[in-house]
Amino acid sequence: MKSRRDFIQKLTVGAGILPMTFSFTPFEQQHQYIPDVQDGPVLKVAIMGLGSYGNRVAEAMKDSKRAKVTGVISGTPSKIKEWQSKYNIPDKNCYNYENFDAVKNNPDIDAVYIITPNALHHGQCLRVAAAGKHVICEKPMAINAKEGKEMVDACKKAGVHLLIGYRMHFEANTLEVIRLREAGEFGTIKFFQGLAGFKIGDPTQWRLNKELAGGGAMMDIGIYAINGSRYMVGEEPIWVTAQEVKTDPVKFKEGVDETITFQLGFPSGVVASCLSTYAISYLDKFFLVGDKGFAEMQPSTGYGPIKSWTNKGRLDLPHVTHQTTQMDQMAAIIFDGKKPKVPVDGEEGLKDMKIIDAIFEAVKSGDKVALKL
């Protein structure tokens, strides 16, 4: 297991053999969420970072109605050549990390999707914004809230969108659970649990390099539990406590977290209990419970299909490739002014960065840390 990408894909494939705690009769949904794609301008996107996830996004965009790969940015010439052949990208739309500021003068590129190591997002975002292009940035958006705020400010100043790659915000099962919660199906929400983890492999990879990753599991897989707790509960947390466990200090060096458990407190009194780890596999589960019912998702954030059910029965809405839906919906945000049910803008990403900063602070101090999002 080399990375989160491998983990999410393998867990999804094996989801059918996961033991289910409950057995239900089908639950007929009257208002199931089906992602809609309206006709409109096509978003022309340059992918920055041609690794495994960059490839996944590009493949998914083949089925997008409103987004298309039109450019590439990479430090590896051989990868650029491969992508040119695969996606019919002309030489004039190919850049490296030294000269990509020149996208400013390229009408074939509307937006740049940054899919590079976390620590590079900040500087690359500022440069793309300065070039007058919209920014789509993978999560976490930066390595701390200070950088995230500077990214938000730079994009606002440049008059361009900053969108974060929260693909789950457009996923049908996720949005259906949110709809059911808002409709009162679960009553007053009492508790949320978010589990996110896998056993990471290659100890030399960038995800275990503090200078490039900004941390360890929390900056990779843990952000799913953080973000998920917010959209599942439907509130913003006001405090956090956290505890770290490290069993392999050789692999997980200073500043690279192996396992962190954390608790988020919400204004209504709801508490979220979450786990982020690089030491335990098969952890991809959300559980939301109120005084009238519950919703459970397992896998909850994998590449799909997402498996979901409530106290009334299974949901398991039709699977659409997450990145395909994400890019179509982001085009609608940029061109049509569409407002998604769950935000994916820079401010949304900044809130998660503030929580991550507070989690690291709570780990060090052992104290409850107040949150002001």
Residue keyed to tokens 């940054």:
114
**Rounded Cα gap, residues 27 and 36, in angstroms:** 23
Contact (Cβ atoms closer than 8 angstroms) between residue 70 and residue 366: no
Contact (Cβ atoms closer than 8 angstroms) between residue 168 and residue 174: yes
Q: What is the DSSP track for 99-113?
A: TGGGGGG-TT-SEEE
**Rounded Cα gap, residues 159 and 25, in angstroms:** 51
DSSP class of 35: -
Separation in Å, CA 229 to CA 129, 192, 263, 270, 358:
30, 7, 10, 10, 15
Residue 99's Cβ-count burial label (10 Å; 0-12, 13-18, 19+) is exposed
Q: Classify strands 239-245 and 369-370 as parallel, antiparallel or unpaired.
A: antiparallel
Residue of 44, 68, 133, 139 marked active site: 139
Residue of 33, 224, 231, 303 marked active site: 224
State whether residue 242 is helix, strand or coil. strand
Is-catalytic flag, 44? no
CB neighbourhood size of 348 (10 A):
21
**Rounded Cα gap, residues 331 and 311, in angstroms:** 36
Is-catalytic flag, 224? yes
Which residues carry out catalysis?
Answer: 139, 224
